[in-house]
Amino acid sequence: MTKSLFDLSGKTALITGGGSGLGRLIAEVFAEYGANVAVCSRKLHNCQETADDLKNTFSIQAKAYECNVASEVDVTHTVEAVLSDFGQIDILVNNSGATWGEKAENMPLEAWQKVLNVNVTGTFLMSKAVGKHMISRSKGKIINIGSVAGLKAEPPEVLNAIGYSTSKAAVHHFTKDLARKWAGYGVNVNAIAPGFFETKMTKHVLEQKEAAIINKNPMKKLGDPDSLKGAALFLAGNGSDYITGQVIAIDGGVSL
């Protein structure tokens, strides 16, 4: 394999929820391979810290933006600002996510709506806004972050967050449907479905159930950050030009 398949020099990536967790890992590998990076989330401070670190470490352009992906006004303004600052968006990673742990019979409606609004509506709004730009250029890579929770139904003792799992299943189908709709425009749309990684979102579950989760994993371990980075880099670069509508599980085999 040659570096050119993974070289992102001269490209600009927009990563939602890029200030922490999996989004930050993806921002780091994109910057390492030469991409300029825009990161956005509701927490501007986290994104600013990430952008500063990327600039200092990898000598690329990076900038932070405050954005609630569930707000079409916010999304429109953010995409316009990124295009103004960078001139183009070659890669979009829809990573912003929300979850709510509760039994299905007790799930508050407002909790269900919050999770769906961020995870599904946010993915749609950002894809719509950036997609128009990509269609106008006849090229672009969209990477949606799903979850193994959207691939299989877990018992309540492993995961009791029906809004989250439903939203991620929706993200997976959205990925396939959008890929079919935009294939003719030169826009690739794929998804990554991570298993359990150590992040702020999974901290509470892992504190209570880490041993059980690891024991049930065929590879007997939690998520491998390098595998996540590798999959994201592959889907963002030229090596995946003939791949669209796919959901790649990064889960140690737990979804088998």
Each residue of 73-124: pLDDT tens digit?
999 999 999 999 999 999 999 999 999 999 999 999 999 999 999 999 999 9
The β-bridge relationship of strands 12-16 and 91-94 is parallel
- Confidence at residue 139, expressed as pLDDT on a 0 to 100 scale: 98
Domain assignment present for residue 167? The answer is: yes
Whole-model pTM: value is 0.94
Does the annotation count 65 as an active-site position?
no
Domain assignment present for residue 254? The answer is: no
What strands, in cross-sheet order, belong to the sheet with 247-250? 62-66, 36-41, 12-16, 91-94, 140-145, 187-194, 247-250
* CATH number of the domain encompassing residue 191: 3.40.50.720
Beta bridge partners of 62: 37
Domain assignment present for residue 36? The answer is: yes
The answer to whether the beta carbons of residues 69 and 16 sit under 8 Å apart is yes
Lowest-confidence region among 92-101, 197-206, 246-255? 197-206
Q: How many domains does the chain have?
A: 1
SS3 for 206?
helix
Report the alpha-carbon distance of residue 209 to residue 218 in Å, rounded. 16
Report the alpha-carbon distance of residue 77 to residue 38 in Å, rounded. 14
pLDDT class for 149, splitting at 50, 70, 90? very high
Instruction: Share the mean pLDDT of the chain.
Output: 94
Average pLDDT over residues 160-166: 95
Domain assignment present for residue 159? The answer is: yes
Q: Give me the catalytic one of 33, 65, 164, 242.
A: 164
Domain assignment present for residue 43? The answer is: yes
Which structural domain, as residue segments, surrounds residue 49? 3-249
The answer to whether the beta carbons of residues 172 and 193 sit under 8 Å apart is yes
Domain assignment present for residue 256? The answer is: no
pLDDT in tens, 10-23: 999 999 999 999 99
- Confidence at residue 1, expressed as pLDDT on a 0 to 100 scale: 45
The answer on pLDDT for 26 being more than 70 is: yes
Domain assignment present for residue 237? The answer is: yes
Domain assignment present for residue 214? The answer is: yes
The answer to whether the beta carbons of residues 11 and 89 sit under 8 Å apart is no
